[in-house]
Chain A
Amino acid sequence: MGRALLIWRLALGDITRRRRQSALLVAMIAATTATLTLSLALQGVTNDPFARTRAATRGPDVSALFEPGFHGTMGTLAQFAALVRSPGVTASSGPYAVARLELIARGYRVRVHAEGRDRDRAQVDQPLLTAGHWTADGGVVIERGFAEALGVHVGDAILLNGRRFAVRGIALTTAMPISDPLIWLTRSDLLALAGGSEPLWESLNLKLSDPAAASAFADARNPPNAAWFLESWQELRADDSQTIANERQVLGIGAVLLAMIAIAGIAVLVGSRMAEQTRRIGLLKAVGGTPGLLATMLLAENLLLASAATVIGVAAGRVIAPELTAPGNSLLGSAGTAAVSAASVALAAALAFAVAIIATLLPALSGARTSTIRALNDPARPPRRHPWAIGLSSRLPAPGLLALRLIARRPRRTLLGMASLTIAVATVIATLMERHTPVLGVRVAGNILAADKQASLEHVATVLSVILVVVAAINLLFVTWATVLDARRPTALARALGATPNQVSTGLAGAQLVPGALAALFGLPAGLVVFGLTAGNPLNADPPIPLLLAVIPATLIAVAALTAIPARVGARRPVAEVLRSE
């Protein structure tokens, strides 16, 4: 009992004494768990809303569209309608008249597919109203994803082929065999609008006794040159979830990148704490603590931090998930909300605890191995000596000399900081590329739906790059701070030997700027690679070259701004105090 209390007190004391470091460790682990939670949440997105929407709308197993009038196609409307009597069909609706109309609303002019529907409910594919009422003469129902893209609501007025209609309702469907936006009208309104200029199209929805065989059913009835086209529900689902799949891929890669940044940060953090903790273990050993007690204390401390990080990370994941699953708009339910499962929380916690245990084991082992005397006398991490860096730096003016020697002192930390910056720059580059790449090959003028899908992908990429940039910025701040602390003695000494505070702060900032510049240079091609991996059709990209190049100076400015304050503080510490304390 007394022992547990002692461990608890020691652990809490250590955390409160090192608030900033502890907070950083929590932030790093939390960012990683949040991303993990997010990407796990999106795993469940595709099936769930589609299936639920399909059930609620009695969605078709096979959806068919009759498009007469194209040159060289074969088949009549009667033959099309006869599909209903194919073996295995258990229920059907339609044929419904379909026409391409021009819709104007809120400044958009868009080609839409309009389906003429009866007032009564269909046996198959009865779109599910999420707002307003079903069709009536003079009123139109709009598919939800499209309505949201347009920004129209129930009661708004729109123009269809120049005639005024009121939006009566917003509805969901899983039967969308066409890539244009979908609306529903009464049959009489549709016929009146189509005006006989083009032959009318017709659509048909079928339910099969064996839904699993829908693709085979459709393939068997899709001869080349047929005037109609059948699509199975599996294909419909694939179309619809294409956006989500893209997002998931982006997010998956994002999670990996973020985990890499976070691990780089944690490595710097654990590395810089290790020296101190090895020493602390030596000290406690000297006053009678057993290595076991100390390892337990360290573990308690790190587990405490990891638990806090898990809670924060999972909560953040839950908050952000719906933001990223906006394309679920076209289907029933919001994909992200229900998706943070117990399993993903457990996985995130496992990751956090693994980090905590590693962060405990390293110093505990080295503390146990190091003799008490050595732990107390020797710096656990003697600085590195790189003769080339020292020789080169002596040819530079004072700030350059200090910067290069600081870099050479702790090359591993510099590399880790640089890696995390490179990843952040790469993400920004990839996001910029994404923003300048039309989805689905061509950007059809006025194709709002395509633009909507594009926007949602951009949205994910943007949210991710914001997270990554923030985490990389935290990392950079921390690396700078660790450098400032670690270089306390050499910088105080440099000042006693004649360096001005400005030279020292420029040197400290320079120690980050040089790797920052390299990170910007490496990040550019790395970002293009990341983009190549995530984009569906990278060759269509229209690289905004000036913008991409501007990322390099922007990175340098950001690094300079972020490191300026710690560097300034570090350079203005009272010299005598530092030199006296040793």
Chain B
Amino acid sequence: MTEPILAGGEPILAARTLSKEYGTASALVRAVDDVSLTVNQGESVAIVGPSGCGKSTLLYLLGGLERPTAGTLALDSQPIHDMPESRLARLRRHAVGFVFQAFHLVDELTALENIELPALLAGASPSAARERARDLLEQVDLSDRAAHLPSALSGGQRQRVAIARALANRPRVVLADEPTGNLDSAATTDVLRLFDQLRTAGQTLVVVTHDSRVAATADRLISMRDGAFVDETRLTGGSARSLTEITGLEA
């Protein structure tokens, strides 16, 4: 792991009055409503809110997988809200890594092959891609599962493979959508530990979740309701109470 980079570096993501609507006229759904957000280099941000409030939509917008209906969005200082699809795809390769609730591993590829896929798609040499995949597998502590197919992995292991895959091209920002949504408490802890390591290593991270444990690993917590931001809390750096105080275990 590298030295932590101070939060508050250059902005990786800068969204201004971003909106996304689905459907038309009578069936119009405003999934994301006038949202502005800046995520700086090295920062980790959690977005929480009830089901259907537009978290996933926002995340897909930030990653350039959806186009906003209105507003502007810059990824790595480049405006992407109206960037042509092909250019956006090439930018995304090295700018964004995705982690999904449903893991979305390729069923017929082994753990190792899944992890090297983004590097291969980005045109890396097979040997470089393979080497990077091995390092990442080591980092997520699954070296002994390299040749396993996803169907032979537990949920937590699958998600760790997916996280490793998201890191394959050393993206500027990792975007995770409900990364622990399908996991039990122990597997969630594994994934959280990984996110915590990434955060301390200075990886910029945006996590969308309704699991407060996941949210609690972020530097900054944003609450959403009906497509809009309603609250923002800083979870690190403030004057914290002692742990014993929190737990009510005072002597």
Contact = CB atoms under 8 A, between A and B. Distances in A.
A and B in contact, CB less than 8 Å: yes
B60 A497 contact: no
Nearest to B87: A500
B129 interface: yes
B193 interface: no
Nearest to A490: B106
Which of A397, A498, A503 is packed against the most chain B CB atoms within 10 Å?
A: A498
B245 to A, nearest CB: 42
Contact of A497 (B57, B85, B98): B98
A498 B108 contact: no
A401 to B, nearest CB: 6
A196 interface: no
A398 interface: yes
A394 B133 CA distance: 13
A499 B106 CA distance: 15
Interface string B54-86: 001100100101100000000000000000011
Interface string B78-112: 00000001100110110000101010101111000
Nearest to B66: A576
A382 interface: yes
B104 A500 contact: no
Interface stretch (B3-11, B44-52, B120-128, B196-204): B120-128
A383 B151 CA distance: 12
Interface residues of A, number: 33
A499 B89 contact: yes
Interface string A394-420: 110110010001001100000000000
A401 B123 CA distance: 11
Contacts of A576: 56-57, 60, 65-66
B238 to A, nearest CB: 35
Interface residues of B, number: 33
A497 B117 contact: yes
B104 A493 contact: yes
A498 B118 contact: yes
A401 B56 CA distance: 30
Contacts of B98: 496-497
B165 interface: yes
A490 B113 CA distance: 14
A501 interface: yes
A494 interface: yes
Given A394-B120, A398-B120, A383 B89 contact: no
21 contacts: A382-B107, A383-B108, A384-B108, A385-B109, A385-B149, A390-B108, A390-B113, A394-B113, A394-B116, A394-B120, A395-B126, A409-B108, A495-B89, A496-B98, A498-B92, A498-B93, A499-B89, A500-B86, A500-B90, A502-B86, A576-B56
Interface of B: 56-57, 60, 63, 65-66, 85-86, 89-90, 92-93, 98, 100, 102, 104, 106-109, 113, 116-118, 120-123, 126, 129, 149, 165, 169
